[in-house]
Structure 1
Amino acid sequence: MTEARPERRQMTVSDPQVMRALAHPARIAIMEHLGRVEGGATATECAEVAGLSPSATSYHLRALAKSGLVEQAPSRGDARERLWRTVGQGLMVDAGRSAGPEVRAAEQALVEAHAARDLERARDWLRRAGDEPPEWYDAALFSDTVLLLTAEELAGLNEAVSALFEPYRQRNRQGDAPAGGRSVAVHYRVVPLA
């Protein structure tokens, strides 16, 4: 069993096998859940968010562990209970500029799996938006903006947006939800147009 660590750093994924291991809706849900919970979670707890049985979720957890993305976490006191946690505090996928076709295909599959999940979240919101409390309805935002930037300005914009997110990421990792707080999906993509 792995001991607790004081600080977990963001992982950069460039290995096509790891990208393919991640490009599955259940594994994306499991990784996201483990990234939000302090101390780790069991296969049964992950199964609830992945929409699978605990045994199917255990299979996915073992595959993620084999890829170096999750590991066993210290027990909560019950030695029979197996907890899992992410190895890093977040993931960045980067095939690299010189990546070959196999790596590019794996990266594309992973990005498309995330995009499909993001699209389903937006659709889910639209289906239930009219039933949401007014403050949540009014605070939700869909925005599509085209900006004229240099590469240097774009890098600066990305850094500024990431800095804006950081206090809320810290709160999320610490499980320190404010009264009335909800998990909110923020989709931020910046891609140059042709």
Structure 2
Amino acid sequence: MTEKERTLSDPRAMRALAHPARLAILNKIQVDGTATATDVAEVVGITPSAASYHLRMLAKYGFVEDAPPRGDGRERLWRRVTEGWSVGIEADDQPEVRAAKNTLITMIRDEAAAEVTRALDSLDREPEEWRDATLFSRSVLFLDAAEMKGVAEQIDKLLAPYSINRRDRSQAPAGARVAEAHITLFPRAERRPHGLPSGS
């Protein structure tokens, strides 16, 4: 990725992050820049006290941090850490690390799928220009590992200027809004035959 990242390898940190409410809280803070426990509670659908607990857990493992207070400063304000993060499977992962990575990756994919479902459900209510710009696509590729890595790097380079964590929102065109790109590149695993159905 183009922004500075840390690679997650601590299973405690990954287990702490692999929670639907915490991923939703991180998404809210990423979009808004800063948020209080009350702010995120309304979006996530939990109580402010539960949101405070989740925010403290995210802070404990370095995903969010205190932000300068706003207004009267009576409620603690949070922001995401400037450093991004990534998680990937390594051949020498210990079983505990591999299990935590699998859980977190699955949770992230499930959360992304839920965003797609919400988008599909509301697509007919979007303005025509947004419907025309929306793309749901699946491509089957034929390439080697070096080529696939190159494709990933090209996609990363293409998306980088529009990243919500990098773009100066004051410089964005009128009408700009939050959107998502879901990119998954992987070698297909062999489909094992299920066998023929047994006769009756």
Give the alignment's TM-score, normalised by structure 2: 0.84
Where does residue 164 of structure 1 map in the other structure? 158
* Residue 36 (structure 1) aligned to one of 31, 35, 38: 31
* Residue 183 (structure 2) aligned to one of 168, 179, 188: 188
Could you tell me whether the CA contact under 8 Å between 1:14 and 1:95 is conserved in 2?
A: no
Structure index of larger Rg:
2
Could you tell me whether the CA contact under 8 Å between 1:36 and 1:175 is conserved in 2?
A: no
* Residue 20 (structure 2) aligned to one of 3, 16, 25: 25
Q: Is 1:90 equivalent to 2:84 in the alignment?
A: yes
- 1:173–1:23 distance in 2 versus 1, CA, 3 Å: farther
C-alpha distance in structure 2 between counterparts of 1:175 and 1:50, whole Å: 24
Where does residue 120 of structure 2 map in the other structure? 126
Where does residue 141 of structure 1 map in the other structure? 135
C-alpha distance in structure 2 between counterparts of 1:191 and 1:95, whole Å: 12
Runs of 4+ aligned residues of structure 1 deviating over 6 Å after TM superposition are none
C-alpha distance in structure 1 between counterparts of 2:149 and 2:80, whole Å: 27
Alpha-carbon deviation of 1:171? 6.9
- 1:77–1:14 distance in 2 versus 1, CA, 3 Å: same
* Residue 115 (structure 1) aligned to one of 73, 97, 109: 109
Give the alignment's TM-score, normalised by structure 1: 0.86
> Does 152-161 or 75-84 show the bigger shift?
75-84
C-alpha distance in structure 2 between counterparts of 1:170 and 1:61, whole Å: 21
Where does residue 195 of structure 2 map in the other structure? none
C-alpha distance in structure 1 between counterparts of 2:121 and 2:73, whole Å: 43
Deviations 1:61-116 (A, max 9, x none): 01111122211122235332311122234221135321122111111111111111
**SS, match of residue 41 in structure 1:** strand
C-alpha distance in structure 1 between counterparts of 2:77 and 2:167, whole Å: 16
Deviations 1:22-62 (A, max 9, x none): 11111111112222333x22111222332222111101001
C-alpha distance in structure 2 between counterparts of 1:27 and 1:188, whole Å: 22
Aligned residues: 186
Q: Which amino acid aligns with 1:96?
A: E
Alpha-carbon deviation of 1:170? 5.4
C-alpha distance in structure 2 between counterparts of 1:171 and 1:63, whole Å: 22
